[in-house]
Amino acid sequence: MVWKKRREFALLSAVFLLVAGCTNDKADDATGELDPDNPITFSAFFADPNPAWNKMEDDVGQAITKRTGVKLNAEFAVGNPDEKIALIAASGDYPDLISPKGAAELLVDSNAMVDLEPLIEKHAPNIKKMIGDDMGRLRYSNDDPSIYFIPTINTVEHTPFDAEGTFNLQHAVVKELGYPEIRTVKDFENAIKKYMEKHPTINGQKTIGLSLLGDDWRFLISVSNPGFKTTGGSDDGEFYIDPQTYEATLHYRRPEEKEYFRWLNHMNDIGLLDPESFVQSYDQYKSKIASGRVLALIDAQWQYQDGEKALKKAGKQERTYGHYHVTLSEKYKDPAFQDNGFLGGWGIGITKSCKDPVRAIKFLDWMASEEGQILNYWGVEGKHYEYDEDGKRVIPKEVQERRNNDAANFDRESGIGSYHISLRYGDGVKDSTDNYITTKHPDQIVNDYSDIEKEVLAAYGAKTWKDLFPQADEFPVKPWGAAWDISIPNESKLKVQEQRAKDIVYKRIPEAILADPDNFDKVWDQFMKDLDKIGVEEMEAEYTKLVKQRVKLWSE
């Protein structure tokens, strides 16, 4: 799984995340035909939960239906989404629209998906314009050049203006300690330890130093992915890709990552790691965060944001989290803002069960229009935003206060951000009125910060959390995009090996972290032997081929 995929994380996280690029081009509109007087309902399945979903009865949903005549009868995955996708693929009973995340090959192999290229060419001027010369990046594979999915996670021409993880500390911690340097895992550890010694309880409950989330696939975000992030590796899922040779290595086999997990073992040994990290459910994890007693998290904000929203609503802003650039040692840099280019990849498709694929593509194209994107990002004009005397789109103070302090209810009532279901521009792109299309532009990001956030950032000499991280121009653009975005053929032996490897990872990494420090090396050695037994070198060779094929496909 991808850090970013799992990034803008919980609202349709499968369709929320942002990826790279930068431009000042205007997002001109080219609206296709609409038919608001002829209502239609499309069934849809999304591979991620959306706690803000309100069956399109929210303000934005009602506006979409009024403008297009379309309603969505949407279902969201509960538990493992791949299992649900497998059932859908096997049944032959497909929803009209589907966003399968990394299980797309199950649907493609079942011949469930419509090739969208002819529909885009004829009926989707907005999508076609936005994709431009990158149409090749939407093609499924070298052997099958069809376009089955419109990207919804990865945005167009995106310039990220803020950081949203990975190492997160409560503002109360750094403030009381006098804003210590937080640069290495040792710095992170020391801050937790010193504050915990001063405050063994918070609000009458035992203080938790660092909590991880090992529940199902979320394990990847909180437990395993930080292994490469703290040792200079970019987010390529389960593999580290050599930037010169494109050779793939299962990232746990990198010696430097072993030392990161040894540090987690040390954190457990000295009592700073939540002992329930590998047994708690996602709901229990969020509940702990909402209690205000968890000092630190290693996670993406989109994954823990529900707990943080509860803190904000309760007025406990000092118990929310700042995001720090933390690596194993100062010789490493976290390439969180490395440019992947436009990925294409994961998104939404139209199945062969769809009753009206032309209407469906026109709907998705309208969602990609300037009007549709502004509605989705900003809400309803006059209710959620307005224009000042200079023609600048602004959020009224009372709306901003609800966005900051009552976000869960506001999101559900407004619907803002719940409809990232088509191609869209990312942060930094301006529309035809010279306003930013998204609300995540430098001024608005600062407006979204609480007073304590601004205070903490000022103490560290920063205006935004991104300022604390290495910038994009410190890293080369990745010609393969992101390896997690590469589909593995369903008939490939690699498919089975990858699942077996994950089973081993889910077993051995918790064992290593929770082991007596004297036994850590023994457990880790067994971990490596287990991977050897399933043919890890064969896996790496096959994945290397897929990466090289991606580079070739995108360069043609």
302, 7 Cβ separation under 8 angstroms: yes
For tokens 């090739």, what's the residue?
A: 115
Cα separation, 304 vs 498, in Å, equals: 27
261, 524 Cβ separation under 8 angstroms: yes
436: β partners:
430
Q: Which amino acid is at 477?
A: V
Q: Is residue 331 part of a domain?
A: yes
Residues 502 and 517 in one domain: yes
Q: Is residue 2 part of a domain?
A: no
Residues 85 and 109 in one domain: yes
Residues 183 and 249 in one domain: yes
Calculate the dihedral angle through the C-alpha atoms of 214, 218, 224, 228, rounding to the nearest 10 degrees: -150
Residues 151 and 173 in one domain: no
Task: Report angle CA 275, 277, 283 to the nearest 5 degrees.
Answer: 125
Cα separation, 400 vs 418, in Å, equals: 18
For tokens 């009024």, what's the residue?
A: 66
Q: Which of 372, 365, 422, 385 is nearest to 154 (CA)?
A: 422
Residues 138 and 64 in one domain: yes
Q: Which amino acid is at 131?
A: I
Residues 361 and 413 in one domain: yes
Q: Is residue 6 part of a domain?
A: no
Q: Which two structure tokens, joined as six digits, stand for 39?
A: 């209502």
Q: Which two structure tokens, joined as six digits, stand for 400?
A: 């901003």
Q: Is residue 439 part of a domain?
A: no
Residues 150 and 207 in one domain: no
Q: Which two structure tokens, joined as six digits, stand for 437?
A: 């299309």
Q: What are the DSSP calls for 302-321, one per residue? A: HHHHHHHHHHHHTT-GGGSE
Cα separation, 60 vs 380, in Å, equals: 7
Residues 318 and 201 in one domain: yes
Q: Which of 499, 294, 309 is nearest to 404 (CA)?
A: 309
Q: Which amino acid is at 412?
A: R
Q: Is residue 230 part of a domain?
A: yes
Cα separation, 365 vs 424, in Å, equals: 10
CATH number of residue 283's parent domain: 3.40.190.10
Cα separation, 514 vs 103, in Å, equals: 32
Cα separation, 234 vs 336, in Å, equals: 7
Q: Which amino acid is at 351?
A: T
Question: Residue 33: its pLDDT value, please?
Answer: 56
352, 113 Cβ separation under 8 angstroms: yes
27, 370 Cβ separation under 8 angstroms: yes
96, 352 Cβ separation under 8 angstroms: no
Residues 455 and 383 in one domain: no
Cα separation, 280 vs 297, in Å, equals: 14
Residues of the chain with pLDDT under 50: 1-32
Q: Is residue 1 part of a domain?
A: no
Residues 91 and 53 in one domain: yes
Q: Report the SS3 class of residue 241.
A: strand
Residues 421 and 374 in one domain: yes
Q: Is residue 440 part of a domain?
A: no
Q: Report the SS3 class of residue 151.
A: strand
- The boundaries of the domain holding residue 71 are 13-158+342-433
250: β partners:
239
17, 156 Cβ separation under 8 angstroms: no
Residues 68 and 147 in one domain: yes
Q: Which is it for the CA torsion 528, 534, 535, 537, positive or negative?
A: negative
DSSP label at residue 216 = T
Which secondary structure element, helix H or strand E, spans residue 239, and what is its range? strand 239-241
Task: Report angle CA 347, 349, 355 to the nearest 5 degrees.
Answer: 155
Total domains in the fold of the chain: 3
284, 530 Cβ separation under 8 angstroms: no
3-state helix, strand, coil in the chain (%, to 5): 45, 10, 45
Q: Is residue 5 part of a domain?
A: no
Cα separation, 6 vs 13, in Å, equals: 6
